[in-house]
Each structure stands twice: as structure tokens, then as C-alpha cells.
Structure 1
């Protein structure tokens, strides 16, 4: 099992996604729990040229509150899915990973694309509850988007949604 942290970057956090402060606190607890149980934490970082998410820009950096340790992997991507044109799948295959806990930003974009790609690749997917978020758009609030994807799209179709405490207990068992 690994914990995959998708696009929790300074530029996106500066936009104040839904429940931003509590979201970061939950991620901090989950990441600390994974590290304590030797569950690998892998970060995904989006690169969008000529934007605040361009390589090297301050906004491209992973948010300081959940920054990776020196020995933790970061995979760079330019598409919504963390698997599309990256070496993530090859890395997970090399490690014989079968289960991925996915957290991050933005629910309806990169988290969803990564989750569905992982599903298509036949990984077991866990979504820790309230550990993904997004921004309001012209049609829906960030809260409604997050709830819709978590409850109506992912739950029991693409992923198993679980309370953080249950995910932390899984880390203790550390399944592949």
C-alpha cells in the first residue's frame, strides 16, 4: 500500500479550496501515520507552463504544511492523471503495490483522473474521507463537487471510501 498525495501545491492552496485548513490538518495526520508505519508517501506535482504551476514557480511547490521528506518520491505530471506519460505505474509495479490511498486536489480534475486511471490499471483504491478538496466554480461550490464525486461517483464503484482512522489502521497492517 502507498499513500498518493496529488497536487497539494502552493498555488492551489492559495486559492482556498473547500475546508482548506481542516483539509491540510487531515492530510498532515494521514501522512504522519503513513510515515510512522513505513507506508510510502508519494507526491504528485502538476506542471502547467506559463502559469503559477510552471516548474520552478513558487506556486508549483508542494504546500509547506505537508512537504515531502528528502527521501520521498515526487512524480511530475502535465496531464490530469498521475499515470498519463509518467513513470508512476512502472514504479508501483516494481514495488508490487496493489493498493493506493489517494488524497489531494482538485477532486473533479486530477484526483478523479488519477483515481479512474488507477481503477483501469486494476489497483485497489482507497479514498480517505475528507482528504480531497476543490475550488468553487461557476456551477457548484467546492463542497458540493467534493461530496458529489466522493459519494455519487467513487464510493463502491471506483474506490472504497474510509474514515481516516480506518485508513490509519490499514497502514498498521501495511498490505501491498
Structure 2
């Protein structure tokens, strides 16, 4: 009987400790939301616009998403649908436009449709964030030098504090005046630019650093 009581007491203490830790973590991340930008099938192997390192970036974005879900923190999925003439990917009513299974949205998670690189342009993203008193954004997604970059810079101009999970983003080779610029160099350069001047537009961390700090 005594052993049973001890076990029940121990279990109760563990449960109380877990609830307390969850509450503390939630307070620590108060006014913070996760933004997952364009993690869609066309960017992955077999898609119409495959990116370098897309699968690893997707895996890392999934880890961040699981963290936010664990503590019931706000999650916003950005989904790009191409409407401009001549577009070759993210076309309406195709499998490529769908959000990747790495970060499949749950029913309680906001999905915002956009048609421009900047996720704030002609969407309700800003009003949604302000309605939830969100002041800090943790950003993952694709492509680093296009939609992630433009959205992050716009977010800064709108007064948000931004953190980009660097290895939860990806891009592809670029071409400048006939010269190929490797995806790895594009990735480094854009993340370096965003974090210049003392992390002016955003601080850059990797998924391991982010989760360790929390």
C-alpha cells in the first residue's frame, strides 16, 4: 500500500512538473508565432522547381513545427499559388502547389494564400498577427533569397522581431550575367545580408541552436 502511494505521489509530482514546465515555456515564447513559408511539393525532388537541400530543410522545419505544437504556440502556413502569366510551378489545382507532408497543417493552424513573394502583400497576414498580439516571428521556408527574404524585410518594416532558422530554409543555383552562383553561396549571402548590422532584419540560428536554447 505504501509503495503504491509513493508511486502515485511520484507520478503526481512528475505531472505537476511537466505542466509547470510547459506553462513556463509558453510564457517564454509569449507573443511569438511560427511562419512556415512556401514549403510546398514543387520545391522537393520530383517537383517543378527543385531546391538544393529541400528535404533537409523540410525535416528541420518539421522539428521547429513540432516544438511549436508541443507548447500550443501559434503556427501560420504560407502557401503560394501562382497566378501570373507564364508561371511554371505552384500552379493551381496541381499536386506541386500543395503544402509538403513535412509540415502538413493541422485544423487549428492558419493557412494564408499569397500570390507575391512578400507574404504580407495583399493577404491578411498582418491583421492576423496583430489580432493575436504577435510581436516576434520565427521564420522557416523557401526560397531563402526570394520569399523568405522579402517577407522578413517586410516584417521588420512593420515592427516585428524576427528569427530565421537558417537550416530550415533552402534555395537553388542562380545565374548572374552568364555565371552560375551555387545555391550554397546564395544561401550564405542572403542570410548574411538579412542578419547584417547586428541582426537588423533577423537573427539567424540553426534548428539545433534554437531547440537547445528553449
In 1, Cα distance between equivalents of 2:96 and 2:113: 14
In 2, Cα distance between equivalents of 1:153 and 1:41: 22
Residues 147-166 of structure 1: matches in 2 within 5 Å? 147-155=188-196, 156-166=199-209
Residues 118-137 of structure 1: matches in 2 within 5 Å? 118-137=155-174
The offset of 1:169, in angstroms, is 5.7
The offset of 1:75, in angstroms, is 0.3
The offset of 1:74, in angstroms, is 0.7
Corresponding position of 1:52: 89
Unaligned 5+ segments in structure 1 are none
Q: Which has the higher contact order (CA 8 A, sep 6+)?
A: 1
In 2, Cα distance between equivalents of 1:117 and 1:140: 25
Corresponding position of 2:37: 6
Indicate yes or no: 2:186 matched with 1:145. Answer: yes
The offset of 1:162, in angstroms, is 2.1
The offset of 1:166, in angstroms, is 4.1
In 1, Cα distance between equivalents of 2:188 and 2:58: 17
In 2, Cα distance between equivalents of 1:77 and 1:89: 13
Name the structure where helix makes up a greater proportion of residues.
2
**Alpha-carbon deviations, 1:43-74, whole Å to 9, x = none?**
00111135431232211100122211122111
Indicate yes or no: 2:128 matched with 1:91. Answer: yes
Corresponding position of 2:113: 76
How many positions carry a matched residue from both structures? 171
In 1, Cα distance between equivalents of 2:160 and 2:133: 11
2:69 to 27, 35, 44: 35
1:25 to 51, 54, 59: 59
In 1, Cα distance between equivalents of 2:212 and 2:158: 25
In 2, Cα distance between equivalents of 1:42 and 1:76: 11
Residue pair 1:52, 1:58 contacting (<8 A) in 2 also: no
Residue pair 1:2, 1:100 contacting (<8 A) in 2 also: yes
Deviates more, 1:111-120 or 1:21-30: 21-30
Q: Aligned to 1:71, what secondary structure does the other structure show? A: coil
Q: Aligned to 2:149, what secondary structure does the other structure show? A: helix
Q: Aligned to 1:83, what secondary structure does the other structure show? A: coil
Give me the TM-score of the superposition, normalised by structure 2.
Answer: 0.74
Give me the TM-score of the superposition, normalised by structure 1.
Answer: 0.89
Q: Alpha carbon RMSD of aligned pairs, Å?
A: 1.7
